[in-house]
């Protein structure tokens, strides 16, 4: 039985991680996720992806420590998108929604942090146990200090502090908290709102963020005006850029053509 299940409904790709009992990810599973998200990136019919875990207890327990105990290296080949399939996937300019259905532990939390949008079950918890295991949460050490106040991020990283769903919402780590049975419905509603927007515009926004986040504001504006952002340049002269204002003036829904 495959540990990664993917099914597309219209423009929404739903990806389910199914590795009982904790949806932990070994290198082979990560490579499978990478193949799924690489296909998603390159498929024009897929507009947004939702990633969730099977069951109600774990979104993902992160790195499979049983595989590690059996000799899988900490720096194994995790595939084209890095650990979790999309965290380091080059040129991914489509949104990924994490539907966190339970515990997001270690690499599972890092995957949720890497998503563009996050919906969490009210019983979900987020934490990074790595330093207590003698290892480092690579993506967590990079991302968490950008998401949380320094002292809170440090407590999570150094002292394995747990963040429950309500606190995650207050800190802005998640977009919404819903009952466990409503997680996928809420994620699908959010995904549909993305699908209703212009594809080139959504892609351009993500490309702008991905390309300029590390820059100062002046540097970011210079990059934006450089002509080097392909999706942004396509959007500026697209049929869709003309269709949006026209549809608004005519009081009708726009018809996007992705060109």
Which residue is catalytic, options 14, 38, 125, 130? 130
Provide DSSP, 38-51: HHHHH-TT--EEEE
At 238 the three-state DSSP class reads: coil
What is the separation of C-alpha 229 from the centre of its chain, rounded to a whole number of angstroms?
22
C-alpha to C-alpha distance for 68 and 209, rounded to whole angstroms: 35
C-alpha to C-alpha distance for 142 and 74, rounded to whole angstroms: 17
Q: Which pair of structure tokens corresponds to residue 5?
A: 């299940």
Strands of the 58-60 sheet, one edge to the other: 58-60, 103-105, 125-127, 163-164
Asked if 110 is an active-site residue, the reply is yes
Which residue is catalytic, options 14, 38, 110, 125? 110
Pair 184, 16: CB distance under 8 Å: no
Pair 101, 124: CB distance under 8 Å: yes
At 243 the three-state DSSP class reads: helix
Q: Which pair of structure tokens corresponds to residue 255?
A: 């018809």
C-alpha to C-alpha distance for 59 and 124, rounded to whole angstroms: 8
**Which residue intervals of the chain are DSSP H helices?**
27-42, 65-69, 107-114, 138-147, 150-159, 165-171, 183-195, 199-212, 217-224, 230-236, 239-249
Active site residues: 110, 130
């Amino acid at each position: 039985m495959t540990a990664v299940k993917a099914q597309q409904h219209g423009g929404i790709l739903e990806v389910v991680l199914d590795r009982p009992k904790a949806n932990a990810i070994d290198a082979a599973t990560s490579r499978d996720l990478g193949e799924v998200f690489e296909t998603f990136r390159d498929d024009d019919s897929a507009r947004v992806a939702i990633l969730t875990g099977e069951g109600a207890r774990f979104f993902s327990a992160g790195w499979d420590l049983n595989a590690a105990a059996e000799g899988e290296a900490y720096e194994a080949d995790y595939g084209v998108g890095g650990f979790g399939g999309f965290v380091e996937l080059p040129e991914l300019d489509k949104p990924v929604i994490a539907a966190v259905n339970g515990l997001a532990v270690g690499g599972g939390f890092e995957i949720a942090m890497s998503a563009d949008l996050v919906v969490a079950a009210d019983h979900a918890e987020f934490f990074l146990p790595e330093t207590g295991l003698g290892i480092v949460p690579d993506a967590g050490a990079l991302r968490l200090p950008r998401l949380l106040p320094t002292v809170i991020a440090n407590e999570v990283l150094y002292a394995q502090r747990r963040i429950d769903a309500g606190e995650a919402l207050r800190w802005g780590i998640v977009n919404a908290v819903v009952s466990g049975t409503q997680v996928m419905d809420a994620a699908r509603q959010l995904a549909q709102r993305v699908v209703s927007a212009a594809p080139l515009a959504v892609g351009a926004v993500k490309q702008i963020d991905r390309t300029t986040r590390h820059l100062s504001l002046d540097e970011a504006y210079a990059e934006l005006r450089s002509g080097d952002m392909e999706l942004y340049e396509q959007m500026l002269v697209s049929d869709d850029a003309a269709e949006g204002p026209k549809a608004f003036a005519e009081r009708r829904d726009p018809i996007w053509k992705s060109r």
